Amino acid sequence: MKMRAFTFTLLYCLYLFGVSLGQENPPVQSAIPLDSAFLKTYGETRGFLLGRPVSARITPDGKHVLFLRSGAKSPKRALYQFDLESGQTKELLTAEQVLKDTEEKLTPEEKARRERMRLSAGGFAEYQLSPDGKKILLPLSGKLFLYDRESGKTQELSTGKGTLIDPKFAPKGHKIAYVLNYDLYVYDLETNKETPVTQGGTLVKTNGLAEFVAQEEMGRFSGYWWSPDAQFLAYAQADHHGVEQWFVADSTYPERSPFPQYYPRPGKKNVQVQLGIVSVTGGETKWVEWDRNEYEYLTAVRWDKNGPLTIVLQARNHQKHTLYLIDPQTARRTPLLKETCPPNAFLEVAQDTPIWFSDRQSFFWKQRTPEGIFLTVAQVTPEGAKISATFKELFVKEILASEPQSGQIVISGTSTKEIDTTRNLIAQLKYDAATGFRIEKIWGEETAGQYSASVSIPHDTIVLNTTTPTLLPTNTVFKKGQKIADLPSVAEEPHFHPNVSFLTLEIEKQKFFASVVRPRTFDAKKKYPAIVDVYGGPHHLHVVKAKRNWLIPQWLADQGFIVVAIENRGTPGRDSLWEWAIYQKFADVTLDDQVAGLKALGEKFPELDLSRVGITGWSFGGYMSALAVLKRPDVFHAAVAGAPVTDWEDYDTHYTERYMGLLPESKKAYEKASLLPLAKDLRRPLLLVHGTADDNVYFRHTLRLADALFRSGRDFDMLPLAGLTHMVPDPVVTEKLWTKIHRYFDKNLVAVPPSK
């Protein structure tokens, strides 16, 4: 489950709702007036994030920074250019100029792809820069446009009719490849000619597209790769025969046909993926063969300008994967590096390695060990690749840039010296075979926060994206260590800084990170009901020093609560044993840690009234919220559960089996983690919220729990969000939903305190 990127934060949960809730029942009156003005502004600005530069990229000549930006209250993005020498910014192009004021329309396939990528913006959702930086590729409304930076002219490419997906420049920039109607095509920019590369693609057997679990869980959004000389394409063929097909229907519009989706569930058939290599002019495909009983998943493919074609094959149980070298002439594979983990553990997928050095005898690699995930260098030997150097000062999260010729690489991660997952660092490293790794620069040491970056190593330029407890995302351009300017923002700013405190809890000799958000009118003499803001699942850090995460919790606290959050075991950014602790224990370790953390906070802060505790979250956090009131009603007294997974046998294979094991041998673990058998035990208020068109955590989950609760004679509340998916922004709903959540907790924790 890409629960690191779905509404992992309470903030992000906000703008995933997109329907007017209609007339509220008369609310129970709280002693504190409801501040709805902030919610209205928050919704209109999407958490004050609209109007801020995104997708910043430094041009190959190092002279400009390109970026996308919307208006302060408009989600439509336009394309901008920042000049490093003059410091001036100019608008290059808008979607209205390209479409000539016609309305942007997305096909169901495009909507599904954006859902997987968590893209909700209009206008230019993405763009691609040619290798020489002279042209920009802009997919828009099912069409493909090419913008010439020198002339300022835009050309619509004469592609075939149908759904066009995933366009990419060739390494030399003279051609473009894309998937059209389930087949791979190449467009020659010199002749304006479109050539089919594959044939016979269908919804059931696609050519060049990443299958659902690749996009949703592996972070692999593409299904084809250019060769460095632009003469060949490697592509994935995904055969969906025999895979369960589910349908997403919008009951609001019964006249519309349901959208079909192949959705593999635990213990059931997966999509069969094979890798082919074909000339850009078409012809016979050479297929890479492997034993699918040993390796069921093709998780990663790389074909960089410095390196050979490589793939990573993964066992279905996620406890073994192997990096292979592929000969494009024969399609034969040679094993380079095999990794395994203990039986009660799992390996993660990485899309950003290997990165080859120019001699092709060594490469950067991300390796998971029991101590954590680290950046390493592997040397090629006749017996395969061997790890020769490891950088252990950061648990590596992401590789941001690299120049293997000089041994330079920029990574982001969390420190191993002083564990603190509330903040991250960006490190520029230099690797030399004789001396190993050396840190050249560190960003993020002086001010604790969350950092990401776009980096040009040759030009010593970085666009640093910074957010701290008092700063919303800001993009600053540095060249040779000197600040040039902030990329201009037109975003609105909130009128307050969250009153949030971060602390470390020592529980059974382990370090847990937590946060406490108090009302801005906090009275130390009073006791306040507590609300736990929870995520709790893999891949996502919830308690982080970033202002954007604490705006809604502050609003909720200002209504008369104290909002707390606790980072339980299973979350990333530290040693593997911490993450592996949740293996087959979704309903045990995660909830036990939340309970222990809450009790520790209660002992530390007497203003917390632990006899009145609510809990809320979305996605995995929705699962945790429902689990809390079902399993521990002695601790949690009311819950709002958004889009919860209620039975893990109904979630997708690649996520669920990684953490819960395979069926049928792990059946008991699945039963123990399911919410359905616990339905009969509900005795606390529970509000279930779910989008009816969710194609990630299907509405089926909430319906099944609601049915089990109803059949058990339990009282509960339910809010179906008509036609909504897992991610649908809507400013009206932001206001209405959080008003409803506040009133739910006010009613059940304040107006009528829970009985013992």
For residue range 684-727, list pLDDT tens digits in order.
999 999 998 888 999 999 999 999 999 999 999 999 988 888 87
Q: Give the whole-angstrom CA distance, residue 128 versus residue 57.
A: 9
Of residues 752 and 569, the one with the higher pLDDT is 569
Q: Give the whole-angstrom CA distance, residue 112 versus residue 102.
A: 22
Average pLDDT, the chain: 92
H helix and E strand count, the chain:
13, 44
CB 186 within 8 A of CB 177: yes
For residue 146, list its beta bridge partners: 137, 155
Give every strand in the sheet of 482-486, ordered side by side.
450-456, 461-468, 471-479, 482-486
Among 440, 441, 453, residue whose Cα is nearest residue 398: 453
Q: Give the whole-angstrom CA distance, residue 480 versus residue 474.
A: 19
pTM: 0.92
- DSSP 8-state symbol, 590: H
Q: How confident is the model at residue 33 (pLDDT cuts 50, 70, 90)?
A: low
DSSP 24-70: PPPPPPPSS---HHHHHHHHHTTTTTTTS-EEEEE-TTSSEEEEEEE
Q: Give the whole-angstrom CA distance, residue 710 versus residue 679.
A: 9
Judging by DSSP bridges, how do beta strands 562-566 and 528-533 pair with one another?
Answer: parallel
Q: What is the pLDDT averaged over residues 75-89?
A: 96
Among 689, 488, 582, residue whose Cα is nearest residue 16: 689
Domains and CATH numbers, the chain: 10-46+493-751 (3.40.50.1820)
**Residue 116: predicted pLDDT:** 58
Q: Give the whole-angstrom CA distance, residue 36 versus residue 234.
A: 53
**Residues 417-441 as b or e (16 or more Cβ within 10 Å = b):** eeebbbbbbbbbbbbeeeeebeeee
Per-residue pLDDT for 15 more than 60? no
Q: How many CB atoms lie within 10 A of CB 644?
A: 26
- Helix, strand, coil percentages in the chain from 3-state DSSP, rounded to 5: 20, 35, 45
CB 384 within 8 A of CB 335: yes
**Residue 29: predicted pLDDT:** 40
Judging by DSSP bridges, how do beta strands 154-156 and 143-148 pair with one another?
Answer: antiparallel
Distances (CA, A) of 698 to 117, 249, 319, 650: 17, 11, 27, 8
Greatest extent of the chain over all pairs of C-alpha atoms, in Å: 78
Tokens 């390493």 belong to residue: 376
**Residue 141: predicted pLDDT:** 84
For residue range 230-249, list pLDDT tens digits in order.
999 999 999 999 999 999 88
CB 209 within 8 A of CB 164: no
Per-residue pLDDT for 2 more than 90? no
**Residue 457: predicted pLDDT:** 95
Q: What is the pLDDT averaged over residues 298-311?
A: 95
**Residues 454-485 as b or e (16 or more Cβ within 10 Å = b):** bbbbebebbbbbbbbbebbbbbbbbbeeeebb
Burial class (CB in 10 A: 0-12, 13-18, 19+), 684: buried
Q: Give the whole-angstrom CA distance, residue 379 versus residue 357.
A: 10
The two tokens of residue 396 are 């590596």
CB 730 within 8 A of CB 39: no
% the chain with pLDDT above 70: 93
Phi, psi dihedrals of residue 58, rounded to the nearest 5°: -85, 130
CB 605 within 8 A of CB 445: no
For residue range 426-485, list pLDDT tens digits in order.
999 999 999 999 999 999 999 999 999 999 999 999 999 999 999 999 999 999 999 999
Q: What is the pLDDT averaged over residues 413-421?
A: 96
**Residue 724: predicted pLDDT:** 82
For residue 183, list its beta bridge partners: 180
Cis peptide before 354 (omega within 30 of 0): yes
Q: Give the whole-angstrom CA distance, residue 266 versus residue 387.
A: 34
Element (H, E) at 117: helix 108-117
% the chain with pLDDT above 90: 84
CB 311 within 8 A of CB 288: yes
CB 513 within 8 A of CB 539: no
Tokens 């926060």 belong to residue: 449
**Residues 648-679 as b or e (16 or more Cβ within 10 Å = b):** bbbbbbbbbbbbbbbbeebeebbebbbbbebb
For residue range 187-222, list pLDDT tens digits in order.
999 999 999 999 999 999 999 999 999 999 999 999
| Of 13-17, 31-35, 560-564, minimum mean pLDDT range | 13-17
Q: What is the pLDDT averaged over residues 45-61?
A: 96
Contacts of 259 (CB under 8 A, 6+ apart): 108, 112, 247, 248, 249, 695
The two tokens of residue 580 are 């592996």
**Residue 22: predicted pLDDT:** 33
CB 614 within 8 A of CB 639: yes
Count CA atoms within 13 Å of residue 523 on its CB side.
5
**Residue 577: predicted pLDDT:** 96
Tokens 């999509």 belong to residue: 271
For residue range 150-165, list pLDDT tens digits in order.
999 999 999 999 889 9
Q: What is the pLDDT averaged over residues 72-85?
A: 95
Q: Measured at the alpha carbon of residue 572, what is the angle toward residues 446 and 441, in degrees to the nearest 5?
A: 30
Using DSSP, state whether 75 is helix, strand or coil. Answer: strand
Q: What amino acid is encoded at 112 in this protein?
A: A
Q: Give the whole-angstrom CA distance, residue 677 versus residue 714.
A: 13
Among 453, 461, 455, 490, residue whose Cα is nearest residue 478: 461
- DSSP 8-state symbol, 733: H
